[in-house]
Amino acid sequence: MTTTVPVTRERSRFQEFWRSRPVIKLKRNKLAIVGLIITFLFILTAVFAPLIARPSGDCLRDLNMTSANQVYNPLGAPFWKAIFVPPQSCYQITRLSFSPIPQPPSPAAVLGTSNGYDLFYGLVWGTRTMLRLGVLIVGITLITGIILGAISGYYGGWIDNVIQRFIDVLFAFPPLILTVVLITILRPSIGSLVLSFTLTGWASYARLIRGDILRTRKLEYIDGARSLGANDWRIISKHVVPNSIASLLTQSILDLGTIPLSIAALSFIGIGLPVGYTDWGQIMNFARSWLDGPYWYVTVFPAAFIILFSLGWNLFGDAVRDAFDPRTR
């Protein structure tokens, strides 16, 4: 008599993650789904901005296009260049008129004009500007915070004291004020914005992951890895950080929605990106003189973009934090 051994198919890590309790809890959260849909629409708008708001002027020339319709041809090089590496001239809002008086929506400007600039082009390409800067700043700050926070929490001693005292000095200054001072010194530009927000933002990430690592490094599997001969770098990169990064990732998702709004706030007060750049805050700055009267579109459309962008990231980020927080399970 022969017995058959049941064959069990080993589930992949992705399948295990997809069926884990936090992910199931996240999928059942309706507000999280709404937030994810809103953020996904903004991401699509940013990626396909050249197809939604066709380039013109210097952007058209720099893309080596003789007609704006070439951007719709996926077989041509301008299509891929416009999607992935558009030149900086494409981020300059087309100025249809030098008259500061807003013009109502028309075929030439679908959402009207503000200070002579095309609102539709500025809002669509501004979505790409906000997401690009948000991902760049959060990515650099996250990596810097993880490295310094992991070193501080794992080794402790004088290394921890030096890093934490430096963080205390940074926390002694209001982050926004320190950012404004740095941008003023470095002169407004994309590089100065990224550098300023990185210098003022990595400390919160470092302190957050340090607290998790202080708990993780005392667990038994860390002692087991050390007894098997694993060096400090392997323990930190393979065991400590991956098991301490959950709260940090949820915070970074929330920051993807708040940092672009901070950049827009700086542009609103006149110390952000250069005039004419596709930036929501700058568009709102143009509208300050026209809050009263029949020019409702110069404030309603930019405000709608800003509110929905913030709402989407916050709904999704809050749901991710609640789903992966052990205290809520």
Q: Any idea which residue has 């030096």 for tokens?
A: 162
- Tokens 């990231």, residue located: 313
Q: How does 66-77 read in b/e, with b if 16+ C-beta sit within 10 Å?
A: eebebbeeeeee
Buried/exposed code over 213-246 (b: 16+ C-beta within 10 A; e: otherwise): beebbeeeebeebeeeeeeeeebbeebbbebbbb
Burial class of residue 7 (count of CB atoms within 10 Å of its CB; 0-12, 13-18, 19+) = exposed
Residue 91 or 234, more confident: 91
Q: Are 35 and 319 in contact (CB under 8 A)?
A: yes
* Residue 88: burial class (beta carbons within 10 Å; 0-12, 13-18, 19+): exposed
Q: Which two tokens stand for residue 239?
A: 């065991």
Given a cut of 70, whether residue 17 has pLDDT beyond it is: no
User: pLDDT tens digit string along 120-139?
Assistant: 999 999 999 999 999 999 99
Q: How many percent of the chain have pLDDT more than 90?
A: 35
Is the CB of residue 45 less than 8 Å from the CB of residue 124? yes
| CATH homologous superfamily for the domain 22-328 | MetI-like (1.10.3720.10)
* pLDDT, tens only, 173-202: 888 888 988 988 888 888 899 999 999 999
* Single pTM value for the model: 0.88
Confidence of residue 259 (pLDDT cuts 50, 70, 90): very high
Top-confidence residue, 90 or 321: 90
pLDDT digits (tens, 9 = 90+) for 292-312: 778 888 999 999 999 999 999
